[in-house]
Amino acid sequence: MRKFVVLTLVLSFILAPLAALPAVAQEEEKRWDGADDLPVNPLPCGDEPAPEPEPKEYDGGQPVNPPDLAGKEITLVDVPKLIGIGYFAATTKGQQEAAEELGNVKVTTDAPTEANIDEQITFIDNYITRGVDGILFAANDPVAITPVLKKALEQGIRVVGYDANSLPEGREWFVNQAEFNGIAKALLDSLAAEKGEDAKFGIVTSTFTTPNQARWIAEMWAYAKECHPDMVWLETLEAQEDYNLSFEQANTLIDKYGDELDGLFGMTSVATPAAADAVTQAGLCGEVAVVGLATPNAMKPFVNSGCVKSVVLWNPVDLGYAAVYVMRQVVDGNFKPGDTEVEAGRLGKLKVVNGSEVLLGPPFIYTAENINDFDF
């Protein structure tokens, strides 16, 4: 009898939340809202030019009594989401190139080996204690990282973000590799070109709340509704930033939807090659198109074999390069709140958007014609 009661208790605890899940699940449209309550801003369809963005007031944070280091040698630390993956190795390379060019910047990259919010916070905290002149970061979570960045600003340390933003008050500037709506447009237009306007697709992403991926998906949702209304959004699966998991999730989509599936989007630099690998191994090249964000080296085999037609990305080397230049200009007093552009070495002048963001440029699409020219 008692055993029965306990069993019922355990089972009901296990089943009750499962029964409640459908009620919890929001309607689809609301679900893909970027997990941050920000508005979406889809670009016009086709080749129509994008409207000029409305000017927005500077909304970044400012360091408290930063030492005057204009023209002097500065020591920077770079804390990306994680180390040991090609993408952040490429941003590091760009940073070193900029540092070498400038001659008066020393930058070291140090971060956890897994994309983990509390470990990243600990890394930054330790560097604040150690004392650096500036911090470059790519956030694992926009909100969670902000308190520790504010602590850095309070101690007079300069803070510039790149790749993945914090809340605006946590940094002075953020170097935005590509606007979210631009990436969304490039991805969907590429799939439409390959598979037609009625393509059915699945997505493999990192997590539903990772800042970049969540925003891209939100913009994709908005842009698809406007410009590719007949496309069918089958399912979105999480796979961290883990190759094996991404491979498994891509296989899940292939097995689950079979012939229905026309395309797979990879939202991370590991999910895209993993999806391409899964499609190749399933012998479905040509049947299932793979479009996604990835670094060229990881995609070369698939692009050269013809299995993948287009890889969307910016140039991460340029991104790291720009971050260091922006930091130097900030320290030298050449780039202040209210400015509309900033000089960034070989990249020329970069535009300021969204109040306190520096835009790297439009996304770049790697194809069989150009991918072999890149090595990162």
Partner 1 sequence: MATRETSLKKSSPALFQQVQGVLRTQEGVLLIITIISVLILATQTDKFLTVKNLLNQGRLMTEIGLIALPMTFIIITGGIDLSVGSIVGLSAIMLGYSWHNLGFPLEVAIAIALGIGALAGAINGLIITRFRVPPLIATLATLAFYRGLAEGIAQARSVTGYPAWFFDLGQRETLGIPNQLYFLVIGIVISAILLSRTTFGRSLYAIGNNELAARFSGIPVNRNKVLIYAFSGFMSGFAGYVLVSRVSTTRSDMGSGWELDAIAAVVLGGTSITGGTGSILGTTIGLVLIQLLKNGLALSGVTGDATIVVIGSVLILSTLINIVVQRRLRGV
Contact positions vs partner 1 (CB under 8 A): 3, 6-7, 9-10, 13-14, 17-18, 21, 24-26, 31, 35, 83-84, 108, 110-114, 116-118, 121-123, 125-127, 129-131, 141, 143-144, 146-147, 207-209, 214, 238
Give the nearest distance from C-beta 52 to partner 1 in angstroms.
Answer: 31
| Dihedral sign from CA coordinates of 202, 205, 207, 211 | negative
Give the nearest distance from C-beta 113 to partner 1 in angstroms.
Answer: 6
In one-letter notation, the amino acid at residue 206 is S
Rounded Cα gap, residues 34 and 209, in angstroms: 7
Rounded Cα gap, residues 40 and 37, in angstroms: 9
Rounded Cα gap, residues 229 and 63, in angstroms: 46
Give the nearest distance from C-beta 25 to partner 1 in angstroms.
Answer: 6
Smaller CB separation from partner 1, 218 or 279? 218
Smaller CB separation from partner 1, 31 or 351? 31
Whole-angstrom distance between the N-terminal and C-terminal Cα of the chain?
Answer: 65
Rounded Cα gap, residues 57 and 54, in angstroms: 10
Smaller CB separation from partner 1, 6 or 45? 6
Smaller CB separation from partner 1, 84 or 156? 84
Q: Are 360 and 326 spatial neighbours (Cβ–Cβ below 8 Å)?
A: no
Give the nearest distance from C-beta 5 to partner 1 in angstroms.
Answer: 10
Smaller CB separation from partner 1, 19 or 51? 19
Give the nearest distance from C-beta 34 to partner 1 in angstroms.
Answer: 10
Smaller CB separation from partner 1, 146 or 310? 146
Give the nearest distance from C-beta 184 to partner 1 in angstroms.
Answer: 17
Give the nearest distance from C-beta 27 to partner 1 in angstroms.
Answer: 11
Give the nearest distance from C-beta 340 to partner 1 in angstroms.
Answer: 30
Smaller CB separation from partner 1, 17 or 67? 17
Q: Are 171 and 233 spatial neighbours (Cβ–Cβ below 8 Å)?
A: no
Distances (CA, A) of 73 to 25, 70, 231, 325: 53, 9, 53, 14
In the chain, count H helices and then E strands: 11, 14
Smaller CB separation from partner 1, 210 or 310? 210
Rounded Cα gap, residues 216 and 210, in angstroms: 10
Smaller CB separation from partner 1, 108 or 297? 108
Distances (CA, A) of 219 to 63, 184, 223, 277: 33, 6, 6, 26
Give the nearest distance from C-beta 210 to partner 1 in angstroms.
Answer: 10
Give the nearest distance from C-beta 88 to partner 1 in angstroms.
Answer: 12
Q: Is 83 exposed, middle or buried (0-12, 13-18, 19+ CB in 10 A)?
A: middle
Smaller CB separation from partner 1, 6 or 70? 6
Q: Are 240 and 85 spatial neighbours (Cβ–Cβ below 8 Å)?
A: no
Q: Are 225 and 43 spatial neighbours (Cβ–Cβ below 8 Å)?
A: no
Rounded Cα gap, residues 87 and 317, in angstroms: 9
Token reading at 186: 């490039």
For residue 312, the cross-strand partners are: 293, 365
